[in-house]
Amino acid sequence: MSAVINLPGKKNDQPAPVPAPMSRLEQRREELRTRFTQLQWDLGGAAYEMAARDYFRLDVLASMAAKLQVVDAELSEIERMARLERAGAAGSCAGCGSLYARGAVYCWRCGRNLKEGRNTVIGPVITQESP
């Protein structure tokens, strides 16, 4: 039995593993990451150029930052959806943000009723007594 040694410049007989095709969610995440990086680069470059010239246009910087924030918010939502997908969760609680499984009726953390639109919470009802 001989050991296979990978030497530089020597061809490997095994083909490279083929990556799994990306889902639409993963594709969108990659597009947003690329866009976020470009906008961040542009904003930093604009701030640098303005500093070098000692002439700041806050309206221009604010406009560029606003575009960056929009992309960042969408990227955050995509990341949240990807976490739900990986965890096999059905969603997240509107009250505390905890993930819940399919078929769950109440949030495991805060007790909110997940099936109703109202803020229903399991627990004792506190009433105010009149004097």
pLDDT band at residue 105 under the 50/70/90 scheme: confident
CB-based burial of residue 18 (10 Å sphere; 0-12 exposed, 13-18 middle, 19+ buried)? exposed
- Is the predicted pLDDT of residue 99 greater than 80, yes or no? no
- Is the predicted pLDDT of residue 15 greater than 80, yes or no? no
pTM above 0.75, yes or no: no
Please name the residues in contact with 29: beta carbons below 8 A apart, sequence gap of 6 or more: 75, 78, 79, 82
* Between 59 and 93, the higher pLDDT residue: 59
Average pLDDT on 94-115 reads 83
Could you read off the pLDDT of 34-46 as tens digits, one per residue?
999 999 999 999 9
pLDDT recorded at residue 12 = 63
Q: Which backbone phi and psi does 124 adopt, to 5 degrees?
A: -70, 145
The enclosing H or E element of 92 equals strand 91-92
- Sign of the dihedral through C-alpha 74, 77, 78, 79: positive
Average pLDDT on 95-116 reads 83
Average pLDDT on 95-113 reads 83
Rounded Cα distance between 63 and 41, Å, is 14
Rounded Cα distance between 76 and 32, Å, is 10
Could you read off the pLDDT of 37-76 as tens digits, one per residue?
999 999 999 999 999 999 999 999 999 999 999 999 999 9
